[in-house]
Amino acid sequence: MRTYAAYLAKRLMQFALVVFIGINLTYLISHSTPIDPVEQTISALTSFGNTSPEAIETMRQSLRELYGMSGTPLEQYLSFWSRIAVGDFGPSLSAFPTPVSELILRALPWTIGLLVVATVLAWLLGNLLGGLAGYYRKNRVLKALGLVAMGLHPMPYYVVAFVLLVLFGFLWPVLPISGGSGMAVEQGFSLAFVYSVFIHSLLPALSLVLVGMGGWFLGMRALVSNIVTEDYVVYAELGGVDRHRILTSYVMRNALVPQVTGLAMSLGAIFTGAIITEEVFGYPGIGSLLVDAVHAGDYSLVLGVTSVSIVAVSTAVLVIDLLYPLLDPRVQVE
């Protein structure tokens, strides 16, 4: 248990470092802009009517305060951190005066729900089929699946999303192609709402699973076909151990270890996929929020979403990393 405690401490330190560097990066980028967000907001707000110069000056002061752009650079930096630390990103401009944190909290469950289900499903299916394909190399069905996976794997998410959209939106319209739940269904813990959420998540989830699966399939197949030639597997086969048992407890188990690391890493990458997927299917998650914020020029919302996604992804990776030693005892000693 001592070794696990050391591992835990190391990972927690790393987590803190990642979040620190990540948030600093967003600070640096957002402060290196040639565009002054305060002036831009003022011109956007004043374009509707005549505002007196005094009112504009007051507005400028309060906006500078709001965006953490008043005072010396050091003061700005410290105030940025003190606000981020408590999750206060100020009010959103496009949805004034709703706080950014409220908008994010509203969108987050949608994204997390969609991503967790899609990622885990893709991982399970890809590894299972890939493992089988690596073990039973002569099987024609599995060989054909390998070709499909090879074609799907390098494909960007939105291509599959567009194809699904055309298939189910125009050619065979059985599934809803937009939104997170039906317009007529009231949000709450009712059966109708749960069903509506489920049916609306099918297409976006399918596009994520299809693309995600390809990578896991190919990775697992390569790992398994390497392990099959190891001495201990050959020995077990010669010794007459049940083939099913060899596959599950000798081959798959050992091959899964690197795949779990991959799972952690893919959580960072799949966030990218979710943004486009959400945009294509009009899903009310964090990705759509970010895209809308950029188009609306909503400075505080963009900053908020970026910071939150950095923290969310590093937390997910941390959780997977902490579970990791439980799967593979070899990792503990380092």
Partner 1 sequence: MFKIIRDLLRFNIEFAVGTLITLVIVGLSVLSFFSPYPAEDIYVVAPDVPPSWEYWLGTTSRGQDVFWQMAAALRNTLLFGLAVAALSRVISLTVGLVSGYMGGMTDRVLMSINDTFIIIPLFPILVLFYFVMRDSMSWVLLAVIMAALGWAYDARLIRSVAMSLRTREFTQQSIFSGMSPRQIMTQEHLPYVLPIVFSTTLNNMNWSIGMEVTLSVLGFTDINTPTIGSMLYWANQHTALVAGVWWWIAWPVIAVMLLFIGLYLLATALNEYIDPRSRLSRMGGTA
By CB under 8 A, what part of segment 72-111 binds partner 1? none
Q: Which stretch binds partner 1 (CB under 8 A): 183-191, 198-206, 292-300, 324-332?
A: 292-300
Which of 159, 194 has the CB closer to partner 1? 159
Which of 124, 159, 192, 327 binds partner 1 (CB under 8 A)? It is: 159
Tokens of residue 169, six digits: 């939106």
Q: Based on the shown chain and the rule CB under 8 A, indicate whether residue 300 belongs to the binding site for partner 1.
A: no
Tell the smallest beta-carbon distance from residue 66 to partner 1 (Å): 17
Which of 168, 193 has the CB closer to partner 1? 168
Tell the smallest beta-carbon distance from residue 290 to partner 1 (Å): 6
Tell the smallest beta-carbon distance from residue 268 to partner 1 (Å): 5
By CB under 8 A, what part of segment 199-258 binds partner 1? 225-226, 229
Tell the smallest beta-carbon distance from residue 153 to partner 1 (Å): 7
**Footprint of partner 1 (CB under 8 A):** 14, 17-18, 21-22, 25-26, 29-30, 32-35, 150-151, 153-159, 162, 166, 225-226, 229, 265, 268, 271-272, 275-276, 279, 290-291, 294-295, 299, 302-303, 305-306, 309-310, 313-314, 317
